[in-house]
Amino acid sequence: MRIPCPYCGERGNEEFTVLGAADPVRPAGDAPLGAWVDYVHQRENAHGPHRELWHHQGGCRTWLVVERDTRTHAVIAVRAARATEGTP
Amino acid sequence: MGHDMHYSVFSLLRNALAGNRLWTPAWRDPQPKPSYDTLVVGGGGHGLATAYYLAKEHGITDVAVLEKGYVGSGNVGRNTTIIRSNYLLPPNTHFYEKSLQLWEGLEQDINYNAMVSQRGVLNLFHSDAQRDAYARRGNAMRLAGVDAELLDAAAVRGMVPEIDMDNARFPVKGGLLQRRGGTVRHDAVAWGYARAADRRGVDILQHTEVTGIRVEAGRVIGVETTRGFIGAKRVGLAAAGNSGRVAAMAGLRLPIESHVLQAFVSEAIKPVIDTVVTFGAGHFYVSQSDKGGLVFGGDIDGYNSYAQRGSLPAMEDVMESAVALFPGFSRLRYLRQWGGVMDMSMDGSPIIDRTPIDGLFLNCGWCYGGFKATPASGWCFAHTIATGAPHPLNAGFRLDRFATGAVIDEKGAGAQANLH
Ligand SMILES: Cc1cc2nc3c(=O)[nH]c(=O)nc-3n(C[C@H](O)[C@H](O)[C@H](O)COP(=O)(O)OP(=O)(O)OC[C@H]3O[C@@H](n4cnc5c(N)ncnc54)[C@H](O)[C@@H]3O)c2cc1C
Ligand SMILES: [Zn+2]
């Protein structure tokens, strides 16, 4: 699997670490318990396009949002995470 | 002779004399009935074992197992065959020990040679801190009545002389040994349970994919399949890596991510390891098959996947660890490699429970360790489906534990599926 980093170009996935799903949004501190349980534990676990957070640890050290097809591992889109709302 | 041929030394002899022409198929290939008392979705080890114990322990024989591919096409035929019950936390220790006890009597019970081999499982440790952690786990096991022995370095050297004990970075200080652990021929487990369930009247429906779950007034009434609608009073889901997709058909979201795990087999060599060894300082474990190939693996690749194949960095990591522990293995060629889709739960432990929908039951979250669980998983899931309530052995494996906080996090890794 190769990931095209917007800053470094296409690199093998051994240069990256993966955190997981990019879409869960951290609830407000006083949100009801159910919202927190959902955020911490429940996952869409998409069969198909899936947006996830990857860290280009062995390169520019940027956090990226990679959209990848979980059926084929084909990378659909990549962008820097800081340009996205709701990421850590 | 029909389909109820009993396997024995006499059936072997008869067939030896008759040129093996008297063997009959191990199970029927029936047409689906319009409805059943109970449907089990997924013809892997867990689904087949569930059907078997529904019939054997609870007298429920109006059962069909629905499998989208063929029996053994999922993880039950892709794993590295290791069984053990060396867990720290009470719900896991008792459940996996029940499973090990069922393995010990399985072949007589189902009249099938599953090559259960209690060759031991040896977890190596490489530092004083790791020794303490392993000693603690061993003590917890012994308190629960499970066998465990703490070996020093000399004892490890005597058991597995090929290990590089004095590796400069990760010297081997000893190991935690469970002698009753070992390996089981994985395909034979699927075939043996399928045959045993069939002999008790269960219909095994291969190439029958479930495409929808029909619910009326909060109660399940059957499933849509590629061979039409099949009605049922009760439906048990045991779809392993595809659990999320199947549960979504009933509107359920799960605390599960699907990840790929790879395994490898080397060319056949003379006997070199007569136990199962796990490296404590990297991602590697190994045993040797009866054909002589080394069967080995490591950790999941780490990213969500339904592709049943992994990528090269994870392979390289496993090979590096292998050669660090067994320098002699650098001369071996590996023959084949494959991947399976793991249902990774958010605390690393499984779920065997009811669901908010009446008559619908859930079995999932097996991570990379569900093969050893096959007998107890089927046994507990059958109990849960038949009685409508969990058995004490699976009472901890609740679906709502992620909301109540009663998670079972063996590794202490937190709610991060790819770290378990
Ligand atoms: C490489 C690898 C190594 C492993 N090593 C070990 C090990 O050494 N020890 C250990 O204990 N565990 C190990 N495991 C884990 C173990 O194999 C699994 O946890 C276990 O097999 C899962 O249960 P199962 O056998 O029922 O799964 P499966 O065999 O995957 O059964 C699930 C079945 O459901 C079917 N299905 C899915 N969706 C549908 C649908 N919509 N309709 C109908 N059918 C459907 C699938 O086709 C599949 O046959 C390993 C796994 C892998 C991949
Ligand atoms: Zn980069």
The reply to whether B173 and B190 lie within a common domain is no
Q: Whose CA is nearest to atom 49 of ligand 1?
A: B74
Domain boundary among B286, B311, B344: B344
Q: Considering the domain boundaries, does residue B113 fall inside one? A: yes
The Cα–Cα gap between B297 and B274 comes to 17
The reply to whether B109 and B236 lie within a common domain is no
pLDDT greater than 60 at residue B224: yes
Q: How far is B291 from chain A (nearest CA, A)?
A: 33
CB atoms under 10 Å from CB of A45, counted, come to 26
Q: Quick one: average pLDDT of A26-36?
A: 96
pLDDT recorded at residue B317:
95
Could B307 and A45 be called an inter-chain contact, meaning their C-beta atoms sit closer than 8 Å? no
Could B254 and A43 be called an inter-chain contact, meaning their C-beta atoms sit closer than 8 Å? yes
For residue B179, name the pLDDT band (cuts at 50, 70, 90).
very high
pLDDT recorded at residue B94:
97
Cα dihedral B152/B154/B156/B159 (nearest 10): -140
pLDDT recorded at residue B5:
84
Beta strand residue intervals within B145-255, DSSP E: 149-152, 174-178, 182-183, 203-205, 210-216, 219-225, 228-237
Question: Looking at the DSSP assignment, which residues form a beta bridge with residue B288?
Answer: B294
pLDDT digits (tens, 9 = 90+) for B105-117: 999 999 999 999 9
pLDDT digits (tens, 9 = 90+) for B355-367: 999 999 999 999 9
B314 Cα–ligand 2 center, Å: 20
Whether residue A58 lies within 8 A of chain B, CB to CB, comes out as no
A12 Cα–ligand 2 center, Å: 11
Q: What is the DSSP string of B349-376?
A: --EEEE-SSBTEEEEE--TT--STTHHH
Q: pTM score, two decimals?
A: 0.97
Its domain, for residue B400, covers 36-81+186-251+347-419
The reply to whether B381 and B402 lie within a common domain is yes
CATH code where residue B55 lies: 3.50.50.60
Among B53, B75, B226, the mutation site with the greatest number of ligand 1 atoms within 8 A of its Cβ is B75
- B291 exposure class (CB count in 10 Å sphere: 0-12, 13-18, 19+): exposed
Domain boundary among B344, B375, B393: B344
Whether residue B254 lies within 8 A of chain A, CB to CB, comes out as yes
Q: Which ligand is nearest to the CA of B182?
A: 1
Mean pLDDT of chain B: 97
The reply to whether B335 and B273 lie within a common domain is yes
Whether residue A43 lies within 8 A of chain B, CB to CB, comes out as yes
B316 Cα–ligand 2 center, Å: 22
The reply to whether B47 and B129 lie within a common domain is no
B241 Cα–ligand 1 center, Å: 7
Structure-block tokens of residue B157: 């050297």
The reply to whether B120 and B263 lie within a common domain is yes
pLDDT digits (tens, 9 = 90+) for A35-86: 999 999 999 999 999 999 999 999 999 999 999 999 999 999 999 998 755 5
Q: How far is B312 from chain A (nearest CA, A)?
A: 8
Domain boundary among B316, B344, B372: B344
Q: Where do the domains of chain A lie, and which CATH numbers do they carry?
A: 2-26+34-83 (3.30.2270.10)
Q: Considering the domain boundaries, does residue B303 fall inside one? A: yes
Q: Considering the domain boundaries, does residue B29 fall inside one? A: no
> For ligand 1, which residues put their CB under 6 angstroms from it?
B 41-47, 66-69, 73-76, 78-82, 209-210, 238-242, 246, 261-263, 297, 340, 366, 368-372
pLDDT greater than 80 at residue B69: yes
Q: Considering the domain boundaries, does residue B196 fall inside one? A: yes
Residue with tokens 């999941």: B300
The reply to whether B238 and B305 lie within a common domain is no
Q: Which ligand is nearest to the CA of B193?
A: 1
pLDDT digits (tens, 9 = 90+) for B21-64: 999 999 999 999 999 999 999 999 999 999 999 999 999 999 99
Q: Considering the domain boundaries, does residue B5 fall inside one? A: no
Q: Considering the domain boundaries, does residue B97 fall inside one? A: no
The reply to whether B273 and B171 lie within a common domain is yes
Residue with tokens 């023959």: B335
Closest CA to B292 of B262, B264, B318, B272: B272
Q: Considering the domain boundaries, does residue B18 fall inside one? A: no
pLDDT recorded at residue B1:
40
The reply to whether B108 and B59 lie within a common domain is no
CA–centroid distance for B133 within its chain: 25
> Which of chain A's residues have a Cβ under 8 Å away from the Cβ of B258?
45, 47, 70
Q: Quick one: average pLDDT of B383-402?
A: 98
pLDDT recorded at residue B300:
96
For residue B390, name the pLDDT band (cuts at 50, 70, 90).
very high
Contacts of B107 (CB under 8 A, 6+ apart): B113, B114, B116, B192
The Cα–Cα gap between B201 and B290 comes to 33
pLDDT recorded at residue A82:
87
Q: What is the DSSP string of B116-171?
A: -B---EEEEE-SHHHHHHHHHHHHHHHHTT---EEEEHHHHHHH-TTS-TT-SSS-
Whether residue B415 lies within 8 A of chain A, CB to CB, comes out as yes
The reply to whether B176 and B272 lie within a common domain is yes
Q: Considering the domain boundaries, does residue B231 fall inside one? A: yes
The reply to whether B127 and B275 lie within a common domain is yes
Domain count, chain B: 2
pLDDT greater than 60 at residue B103: yes
Q: Quick one: average pLDDT of B146-175?
A: 97
Could A13 and B311 be called an inter-chain contact, meaning their C-beta atoms sit closer than 8 Å? yes
Q: Which atom of ligand 1 is nearest to the CA of B48?
A: 26
Contact A35, A83 (CB under 8 A): no
CATH code where residue B305 lies: 3.30.9.10
The reply to whether B174 and B315 lie within a common domain is yes
Provide φ and ψ at B333, rounded to 5°.
-100, 145
> Which of chain A's residues have a Cβ under 8 Å away from the Cβ of B418?
18, 20
The Cα–Cα gap between B82 and B184 comes to 7
Could B402 and A41 be called an inter-chain contact, meaning their C-beta atoms sit closer than 8 Å? yes
Residue with tokens 């096409």: B73
